[in-house]
Amino acid sequence: MVKYDTVLIRYGELSTKGKNRKDFITRLYRNIKYALRDYDDLEYTKTYDRIYVKLGDEDPDEISAKLKKVFGISSFSFTEKVPNDINTIMDTCLRIAQETDKKTFKVITKRHDKTYPLHSDEINRQVASRILHHTDLKVDVHNPELPIRIEVHGQDAYITSEKIPGAGGYPAGINGKVLLLLSGGIDSPVAAYQLMKRGLYVEAVHFSSPPYTSEAAKQKVLTLAGMVSEYQGHMKVHVINFTDLQLEIYKTAGDPYAVTLMRRMMYRLAERVALANGCLALGTGESVGQVASQTLESISVINETIKMPVLRPLVCYDKVEIIDLARKIGTFETSILPYEDCCTIFDPKNPVTRPSLEKCEHYESHFDYQKLIEEALANEETVMTEPEKKEEDFL
Ligand code: ATP
Ligand code: MG
């Protein structure tokens, strides 16, 4: 195994220009440092189009696992930084070739410094001929087992073999803050991931209905929040007691309209929490047609309660696609643990799939939901997934 001393980080989404580009890089730089905050031995360098992290004695595999969760990175490579004279470049490439057990190789040079005396092709040829003379490796230009990449800069050259795909997207937090309705299910943690990937900083609100929903159910949601929060550092979760509102809804409206009314209340509460916390939009894990409350008619009647935009990143996804993503981000196994949710406890037998706005408003006129909303908000509990960190540390 070749021992590289530096990670070279490439950015994604760089159609952004001017100030946006500067903001992108500044934010990404901070997010990378935040993701690697537990490692003391690292040295960071920022250039126009790259970030370099010198590894010291830190474990490359651990660093790699952390970097894979930082949005805004298009790819990264472990690399060796050497002075850019051709002999040093050839020696280093030869050593990499000698240390590998691969059978075929290809040299791929990119000159960032166009004044360098040798052209890319000449560098490729000289390095390849050195490796061919001193090892048993063969050249394979189409499908090399060992691609050796050389990047020539003003004073240094970076020599690297493997290009590791990054998480893509925008650096978390660069596009503002959104409040996600987070349940213990499969969908909403995936929605959190998608929103973060668009550069949004996600805060969450969870509605619990004790004693009908247990402490364990709430902990499960906080565990899920902790898992997805790795993509942005940490997460603030607002836990709101929904019991009184829910009981009142059942008393007043009975079975078919209960879910629609519950969700209208959730939206109202969420909008208030969002406004109080500087979030410009809500987010949900809703997907059209998935359940009764997610028909277009339902979404429309539910959405009518608030002014704020609602981002629904999963709106057109199939369940199978959502599950694939949940597995990829590691939340699936936790999401399917059997805990009760406030919606399942009062699971109505015949939920209406085409609710009418008039009926919703009719039922809602029969009880003082504003008072219950105020009470629920007054008793909100706020949990940080990493209690020792403050939001300001990150945002
Ligand atoms: P999920 O897997 O995310 O629970 P679901 O398929 O079970 O989704 P619903 O229960 O209808 O669908 O919920 C749709 C969306 O409403 C969820 O994705 C989430 O954003 C929000 N939501 C549902 N229940 C709660 C809750 N108890 N607290 C906060 N948000 C919730
Ligand atoms: Mg659910």
- Predicted confidence pLDDT, tens digits, the chain (395 residues): 566 889 999 986 555 566 788 888 999 999 999 999 889 889 999 887 889 999 988 888 899 999 999 999 999 999 998 998 999 999 999 999 998 889 999 999 999 889 999 999 999 999 999 999 999 999 999 999 999 999 999 899 999 978 899 999 999 999 999 999 999 999 999 999 999 999 999 999 999 999 989 999 999 999 999 999 999 988 999 999 999 999 999 999 888 899 999 999 999 999 999 999 999 999 999 998 767 668 899 999 999 999 999 999 999 999 999 999 999 999 999 999 987 776 666 667 788 889 999 999 999 999 999 999 999 999 999 999 875 555 555 54
Residue 270: the pLDDT is 98
Atom number in ligand 1 closest to CA 189:
3
Phi-psi region of 295 (alpha: psi -120 to 50; beta: other; left: phi over 0): beta
| H-helix or E-strand spanning residue 265 | helix 255-276
| Residue 301 alpha carbon to ligand 2 centre in Å | 19
Q: Give me the phi and psi of 315, to 5 degrees please.
A: -55, -35
Q: Which residue carries 């209960």 as its tokens? A: 258
What is the whole-number distance in angstroms between the Cα of residue 96 and the centre of ligand 2?
Answer: 51
pLDDT for 352:
87
- Give exposure, 109-134, as e/b (b: 16+ Cβ within 10 Å): bebeeeebeeeeeebbebbbebbeee
The C-alpha atoms of residue 108 and residue 17 are separated, in whole angstroms, by 28
Looking at residue 163, its pLDDT comes to 86
Element (H, E) at 224: helix 215-229
> How far does residue 343's CA lie from ligand 2's centre (Å)?
7
Please name the residue that has the structure tokens 């009908």: 212
Which residues, including other chains, have CB under 8 Å from residue 261's CB and lie 6 or more apart?
249, 253, 360, 363, 364
Amino acid letter for position 81: K
Atom of ligand 1 nearest to the CA of 180: 20
What is the SS3 assignment for 348?
Answer: coil
The CA 341 to ligand 1 mean position distance, Å, reads 9
pLDDT of 390: 52
**CB contact set of 282 (below 8 Å; sequence gap of 6+):** 178, 179, 180, 181, 267, 270, 271, 274, 306, 308, 309, 310, 311
Instruction: Determine phi and psi for 142, rounding to 5 degrees.
Output: -90, -45
Helix (H) or strand (E) holding 18: helix 18-35
Distance CA 25, CA 50 (A): 9
Q: Which ligand is nearest to the CA of 288?
A: 1
How far is residue 66's CA from residue 62's CA, in Å, rounded to a whole number? 6
Shortest-distance Cα residue to atom 22 of ligand 1: 183
Tell me how far apart the alpha carbons of residues 70 and 152 are, in angstroms, rounded to a whole number: 26
Ligand 1 atom closest to 186 (CA): 2
Calpha distance 172→162 (Å, rounded): 26
Q: Rg for the chain (alpha carbons), in Å? A: 26
**Residues flanking ligand 1, CB < 6 Å:** 181-183, 185-188, 206-207, 284-286, 290-291, 293-294, 341-343
Q: What is the pLDDT of residue 322?
A: 96
Using an 8 Å Cβ cutoff, are 88 and 81 in contact?
A: no
